[in-house]
Amino acid sequence: MASLAGAGLLTASVIWLSGGAPVWPKQSNLQTPPPVASDKPDPSPLTFKNTTRVDEEGRQIVTNPADVLVLVNKTRNLPPDFVPEDLVAPQVRFPFTAHEPRRFMRAEAALALEKLFAGAEADGLRPYALSGFRAFERQYAIFAAQVQRVGEAEANRTVARAGQSEHQTGLAMDITSREVGFTLTVDFGATPEGKWLAANAHRFGFIIRYPEGKEHITGYSYEPWHIRYVGAEIAQYLFTHSLTLEEYFQQKYGFGVD
Ligand SMILES: [Zn+2]
């Protein structure tokens, strides 16, 4: 499949004016899922600096959790009660049959994932989706279990704390393959599916969120399996310039790399 993520997705993406600030499309695009309601309206890009508040315990909490470009990492937490309102199960291959929340993504990301899978299949590959949406409570349990297993320092390097996982945004999906036994392993990056993903995810609006060599910026070890939806234009830009989402925000808005 040679086309990009589809006209609907492209029109839903940020439109860049020459040398100026991005302009967000109006909400009347019928091909775009309705915006997710939140306590506050999404910020204009010019106020991206102001997308966190500090909670009682001194943590930064993002105020734009439903934004397709929301930046979530070890310093920028999602609100504990944030659950996207437009979660759907993409019609792609999973290595399990149960109907579980981890099948879900936000509608726009799910549609893009379906196109990505169609593109991979057209190239003779068989990726599997393993884990998408994950609620705050589930992430809390996963982190606690990992601390029990390997200790807090190692857990912190490889597993997100509750509120710091992109899976809670509904914009991330972990991809695997039969060759690696449907697990999440660095070896996936050397498989045909892993190589294809690294070379093509951006065409469908996704980025490899934790690339090799950027651990000191993202705070996470290399994860060839974790893709994050950011929209086709930003994904293309990050791919072309080999930037992480943190570096992109730093470059555009002066924050992101701590
Ligand atoms: Zn992941």
Residue 224 CA, ligand 1 centroid: distance in Å: 9
Q: What is the pTM of this model?
A: 0.80
| Closest listed residue to residue 88, CA positions, set 129, 57, 45 | 129
For residue 214, the model assigns a pLDDT of: 96
For residue 202, the model assigns a pLDDT of: 98
Is 113:129 a contact under the CB 8 Å cutoff?
Answer: yes
Residue 89 CA, ligand 1 centroid: distance in Å: 16
Q: How far apart (Å, rounded) are the C-alpha atoms in residues 7 and 2?
A: 13
Residues within 5 Å of ion ligand 1 by Cβ?
174, 226
Query: What CATH number is given for 7-253 in this structure?
Result: 3.30.1380.10
**Would you write out the chain's pLDDT as a tens digit for each of its 258 residues?**
444 444 333 333 333 333 344 343 333 333 444 444 445 444 444 456 678 999 999 999 999 999 999 999 999 999 999 999 999 999 999 999 999 999 999 999 999 999 999 999 999 999 999 999 999 999 999 999 999 999 999 998 888 999 999 999 999 999 999 999 999 999 999 999 999 999 999 999 999 999 999 999 999 999 999 999 999 999 999 999 999 999 999 999 888 887
Q: Running DSSP on this structure, what letter comes out for residue 233?
A: H
In this structure, the chain runs to a length of: 258
For residue 15, the model assigns a pLDDT of: 34
Q: Which residues pair with 208 in a beta bridge?
A: 227
- Cβ neighbours for 190, distance < 8 A, ≥ 6 positions apart: none
For residue 19, the model assigns a pLDDT of: 39
Q: Which spans in the chain are helix H?
A: 7-12, 107-122, 136-150, 152-158, 192-200, 215-218, 232-241, 245-253
Residue 200 CA, ligand 1 centroid: distance in Å: 18
For residue 11, the model assigns a pLDDT of: 36
Q: How far apart (Å, rounded) are the C-alpha atoms in residues 22 and 66?
A: 18
Name residue 119's amino acid. Answer: G
A 10 A CB-CB count for 187 gives 15
Residue 171 CA, ligand 1 centroid: distance in Å: 10
Positions of E strands within the chain: 15-16, 22-23, 52-54, 60-62, 76-77, 87-88, 105-106, 128-131, 172-176, 206-210, 223-229
Burial class (CB in 10 A: 0-12, 13-18, 19+), 52: middle
Tokens of 92: 């792609």
Residue 132 CA, ligand 1 centroid: distance in Å: 7
Residue 21 CA, ligand 1 centroid: distance in Å: 30
Residue 76 CA, ligand 1 centroid: distance in Å: 17
Q: How far apart (Å, rounded) are the C-alpha atoms in residues 86 and 35?
A: 9
- Would you call 247 a catalytic residue per the annotation? no
Catalytic residue, candidates 166, 223, 233, 246: 223
